Structure 1
Amino acid sequence: MNPTLPIAIIGAGPVGLAAAAHLTERKQPFIVLESGSTVASAIESWQHVKLFSTWQYNLDRAAQRLLESQDEAGDVQWERPRATQLPTGRELIDAYLAPLAAHPAIAPHLRVRHRVTAITRASITGGSFDKTRTTNREAQPFLVRLTAPNGEGELLARAVIDATGTWHSPNPAGRSGIPAIGEAAAREQATVTAPLPDPLGAERARFAGKRILILGSGHSAATTLIALGRLRQHEPSTEILWGIRGVADANRLYGGGAADELPARGQLGVSLRRLVDSGAATLLEGVAVTTLTVEASNAPHPLTVGLADGRTLHVDLLVPATGFRPNHSITSELRLALDDPTEAPIALGSLIAPEFHSCGTVPAHGAEALTHPERNFYVVGAKSYGRAPTFLLATGYEQVRSIAAELSGDGEAARAVHLSLPQTGVCSA
C-alpha cells in the first residue's frame, strides 16, 4: 500500500484529536474528518455537565507535549489546566480541545462538516473490491465516502481510526433493548428529551414546575437527577420520578461514596442518596417501559408511560438516561470481529463486560486488543467499548498511543501498554 496515503481519523473529539497528536509525533500523514461544525461537537451537547474525573485523567500526553511546544518566537501559547480541577464539557473544549485542534500541526489536516457515510476497500487497479474479496485484500487502500459542504466525495487512506463515539446512538427508553411502542412519536413531539438535558440553564423553562421521569441508573441519570433537585429548590412544584428497570441495590445505585478514588464520582452517589432520602425524588423500581402515548394538548400531563407490570405513569417529560450503543453502519463493507454481548472488538469484550468490571478494573489495552480481520482498521474511544458504560478518556488515549505506534512500525511500543486508573467506585452506577 502507498505509504504516503494518510491515516483517516473519523471524529474530532478527545480521542480522535489525541490520535492526531500521536501521529504528529511519529511523523505519519493523517486527516481528521468531523461531522459537526466544530471539534468535539458531541461534547457541545452536554457542555453544561461537570466531569467526575479531574484534568489529570482528561489530558493526553502527546497532546500536552504538542500544546506545550514553543512557537517560532519561542513562546508557549497554551496554559495547562490545574490537574486536580474538575472541568465541565465547555471547559474541556475551550481549555484543551479547541487549542489542540487549532495547533499548526493539526489544523491543516482537520475537516469539519465532513460526515463519513461509508468505508470500504478500493482496488488499486480500479476494479470492484467489496467485503467478499479476499485475495490481496490487505494491500488495497481504504475508500472513505463522505458528504461535505461542497457535496459528496471520496478519499483513500492506508488506515482508518474510527473515533466517532456513541453519543448519536442512544439506547431506547423501551425495555429489552428495543424502542417502546410509540417512542418515535414521543421523541418527535419532544416529550422525550436528550440523555443529558440542561434543566438549570438553557432548558430551565422546559423543566420548571413539570412532572419528570428520569429513566436509568448510571451517571447520566444521577447528573440529571441532582440538577433537577437543585431546580426544585427554586421551583417547588417540580416533581421528580426516578425509574430504574431492576430492583434497587444501594451499592450499585449510589457507588463507592467516600471510598471512591474519584471524589466527585463518590459525591455524585452521596448527593443522589440524599435526594431520594429527603423525598425530593421518588424512586420507582421495575420501570420496564412498553408504551409511550402522547396525549391530547389539553391533558394534565402530555405523556403516558405504560409499564410491563401494568402500571401507568403520567408525566410531562421523560429523560432516557439509558446509555448508548455503537452504530457500525458505515463499516458494513469491512470485516469486523465484534463481541456479541457488548459489540466491542472481540478481544476487548471480556475485558470490559459491565457485569464484572468498573472503569478502574479494565486492564490497559492497545492495538493488539483492538484489531479486526480488516487489517489497519481500528475502533477507539467510547465506541470501542460498545454497549459497556465503563469508558474513561485516559483509556482511549492509551488506545490511540498504541495504535499510532503500530501504524508507524513500532510494534514493541504498541505492545507496551500502561495505564493507571482509579480502582474504586462502580462506573456503571
Structure 2
Amino acid sequence: MYKATLEYAQQLDKEDQLSYLRDQFHIPKDKEGNDWLYFTGNSLGLQPKQTQQYIQQELDDWAKFGVEGHFEAKNPWMPYHEFLTEKMATIVGAKPLEVVVMNTLTTNLHLLMVSFYQPTKTKYKIVIESDAFPSDRYAVQSQLKFHGFDPEEGLIEWKPREGEELLRIEDLEQIVSEQGDEIALLLIGGVNYYTGQYLDLKRIAEIGHAKDCFVGIDLAHGAGNISPELHESGVDFAAWCTYKYLNSGPGSLAGLFVHEKHAYNKGLPRFAGWWNHNKETRFNMRQPFDVMPGGEGWQLSNPPILSMAAIRSSLDLFDKVGMKALREKSERLTGYFEFLINQIDTDRIKVITPSNPKERGCQLSIQVKNADKSLHHKLTEKNVITDWREPDVIRCAPVPMYNSFEDVFRMVEVLKGLL
C-alpha cells in the first residue's frame, strides 16, 4: 500500500533501479537553482546530456571534411538514417525493414495516406477519434477535400458515450460493422493525446481489416511511452514524432512504420524522390525510378544529420535501458501519482485516464471542476510544468527516464494547496 508522505516517496526513489537516469538529463531550474517539477514529456522531452556531444561530432566532421563527410565522417552521413533504424524498430515493436526515420509527423501521415487512402465513389470515408489531435483532423479533412469529398460527409468520429470520457472498442466495432462498406481508412491515435487512453491496436486492426479498410495509427503519444508491438498488431502503417518521449529536441524528425505485408508492393501509389529510389543506383541519376522495399520506400529527401544525431543520442539511452524496464517504472510512477491525487480531499478533481496501467502510458489527465487556465498558470508560477487542455484538464506525464517519485509527491502537494 502506498503512503502519502515525502519520506515514502524518497524511499521509493532509493529503491528505483532506474533512478540513475535522471542524472543523464538536463533538468530546468528556477532562479534559486531548484529543479523544476517537469511533467510535460508528453509535449517536449528533456535534453539528454550526451546529445550535445553527438551533435558536436557531426559539426566537427562537417568542419573537417565538408562534403566528404558523407563518406569520411566518424558516422558517415550517407547511411546515417540506417544507424537509427534497428533501435527505433525495437522501441515500437517492429522489424527493421518496416521502419524509417524521416520528415515530421503530419508530413509522414500525408505521405502514408497517398498510399493507404484509396477512396472510391462508394468507399471513401475515414474514421478518427472524436478527440483526435487537431493536426490529424486537419490532415484527414484535407485528404477528403483533395479527393473531391465533403469532410462533413466523409469524416466519421468514434466518440465516447454520453457522460463518459473514454472510448469503447465495441463502439468502433459497431461503426465499422454498420458503415464499413463506405469506410476506406481508420486513422486512430494509439494513445489519445487528451485522455492518455492506450487503445488496443491489434483489435482496431482486426475490426478495420474485417471490412477491407486500411488501418493507420498516430503514435505521437505512444512511441517511447508504451510498447505498441506494431508488427504483431497487424496495422498497415503508423507514424510518430520523436520530440516527446523520445527526447530528440523541438521539431525533430519523425518515425514511420509500414507493415511487412506491404514492403515489396511496388504497385502502391506513392510520391517519389531520390531517397526512396534504389540506393545501389541512386546516384546514376538517369535511371528510371526503382522504389526501395520497406519503410525506406517512403523517403523523399536525404536526411538532416544534426537532427538525426539528437535522435541517435536518445535511442542509445533507450537501448541501454530497454522499454520493459521503463514500462515497469512508468506503471509504478503513475500508480503512485494516481493514489496521491485520490487522497486529495475534494470532489473537484478526477483522473479521466484509465486506472488500468495496461490501458495507459505515463500521462494522467486530471479534470478539475470549475477551473480555468489560471490554475495552470499558478502551477507554472510554482515551477510545476504541466500542460493545460481546454476546458478543464491538466495533462501530467511523469516520465520514467527522468521523473522521480519525489517529483510526483511534490507536484500533488502544490496542486492540493492551490485547490
TM-score, structure 1 as length reference? 0.29
Q: Name which structure has the greater RCO, CA cutoff 8 Å, separation 6+.
A: 2
TM-score by length of 2: 0.29
Bigger proportion of residues as helix: 2
